[in-house]
Amino acid sequence: MKYSSYFSKIKKEAPKDEASRNAQLLSMAGYIHKEMAGVYSLLPLGLVVSENVKNIVRKNMNSLSAHELHMSALQNPEIWKVTNRWDDAVVDNWFKTKLKNDTELGLGFTHEEAVTSMLKQHVYSYADLPIYVYQFQNKFRNELRAKSGLMRGREFEMKDLYSFCKTEADQKAFFEKVKETYLKIFKEVGLEEYVYTTYASGGVFSKFSIEFQAISEAGEDSIYVDEKKKIAINKEIYSKEMCEELGLDFDNLIEKKAVEVGNIFNLGTKYSDALELTYTDEKNTKQSVWMGSYGIGIGRLMATVAEIYADDAGLVWPKEIAPYQVVIVPLQDDPEVKDEAEKLYNSISKIDPSVLLYDVKGSVGEKLSSADMLGIPTQIIVSKRGLIEGKFEIRDRKTKKVTYKTFFDIVEGDLKD
């Protein structure tokens, strides 16, 4: 794609209404647009990154034999009243709205009730279980205080997976599989060395839930980490007894700031019992369905990667989620340079469409810093100087290492080395 076909502009100055690094950089590079506090739109480039993240998540969900579906954001109060989660005194972050006839509706902040209620029409027998379903869905949470850019918004896209099992043992086994799968996801988006499996409050459902916390100063959570075991415990449940129970050495944990990029729960039979989702077993007796729910905030994950990887010059995307693998920069507004850049662009496009031609007029410095800000992993700089020698400069955005290659090397060889 040619950069000139995008409408977004790269800004030199940070917007004054953003203090967090992720929002500043994503906004300056034209990946996001702020609509209002805690509400962001994804611009074309941001959408590609988001889709790349989602595809990694999707692939891993599918590997669990989970099926993707898509539920409505609008929620029927009736089912939420059954589980006592409609009342604002119980759940204080609802966005509620009304039909023309004054009937109340909610905008979903999660979907346990909706999915459980839906499955009542599909689950009857032990033969119907287990069921694993997930979706990517915009959640709405009426936060008192949105903050840190995409880290805590009022509307955000979440992958939520729900499991429905015959027995507690089945549910727990699946929970463990999800735990492993989540670690694979975070590894694939580039956060392997940052993410800690973290014990946290299980709320009303169980003793613990498992959070996936990415170490970052931008995080709003505090966790105590065991660096060897790659396990942590959230400050909210941190105590000597708790550490002993979890097999952690209370005196050897280090406190760190972290971003919660995922959270998984064993829900037991709380929702299925309340909403009467049951199945008939082999002995023709009615049984409770065992549930779990598993979330990943897509925007938050993207922002976390942006925050962690960025350097002084701007964004740095890991290859796995970068909007493009290669950006070609014609350094001078010189006909010959532009021509060569375009030729190279056309040739690479045929092999790998993940290439961007930065065909914007401007000074040398402007082009180089723009390319840096975009965060695309590999830059190919086409310059007068290079053309004299018949070579192009290949620059790694992250390591800043520079190599020189001929047109033939680039088109016939493997760019990745």
Q: Which residues bind RNA (CB under 7 A)?
A: 10-20, 28, 36-38, 91-93, 109-110, 143-148, 152, 203-205, 209, 220-221, 263, 265, 293, 295, 313, 331-334, 362-366, 368-370, 372-373, 381, 383-386, 393, 395, 402
Burial (CB count <10 Å: 0-12, 13-18, 19+), residue 244: exposed
Q: How far is the CB of 264 from RNA (least distance, A)?
A: 8
* Sheet of 104-107, strand order: 74-75, 104-107, 95-98
Which tokens sit at 397?
Answer: 């955005």
Which tokens sit at 286?
Answer: 């009615």
Which tokens sit at 119?
Answer: 């499955």
Q: Which is nearer to RNA, 109 or 194 (CB)?
A: 109
Q: Which is nearer to RNA, 206 or 347 (CB)?
A: 206
Q: Which is nearer to RNA, 47 or 360 (CB)?
A: 360
Q: How far is the CB of 167 from RNA (least distance, A)?
A: 21
Q: How far is the CB of 181 from RNA (least distance, A)?
A: 17
Question: Can you give the three-state secondary structure of 146-206, one letter per residue?
Answer: CECHHHECCEEEEEEEEEEECCHHHHHHHHHHHHHHHHHHHHHCCCCCCEEEEEEECCCCC
Q: Which is nearer to RNA, 320 or 334 (CB)?
A: 334
Amino acid letter, 408: F
Q: How far is the CB of 149 from RNA (least distance, A)?
A: 7
Q: Which is nearer to RNA, 315 or 321 (CB)?
A: 315
CB 340 within 8 A of CB 384: no
Question: Can you give the three-state secondary structure of 29-66, one letter per residue?
Answer: CCCEEEEECCEEEECHHHHHHHHHHHHHHHHHHHCCCC
Q: Which is nearer to RNA, 52 or 113 (CB)?
A: 113
Q: How far is the CB of 125 from RNA (least distance, A)?
A: 28
Q: How far is the CB of 147 from RNA (least distance, A)?
A: 4
Is residue 291 left, alpha or beta, with left meaning phi > 0 and alpha meaning psi from -120 to 50?
beta
Q: How far is the CB of 297 from RNA (least distance, A)?
A: 10
Cis before residue 335, ω within 30 degrees of 0?
Answer: no
Q: How far is the CB of 278 from RNA (least distance, A)?
A: 22
Rounded to 5°, the CA angle 215-216-217 comes to 135
What torsion, rounded to 10 degrees, do the Cα atoms 335, 341, 347, 353 define?
-130
In whole angstroms, what is the distance from residue 370 CA to residue 26 CA? 13
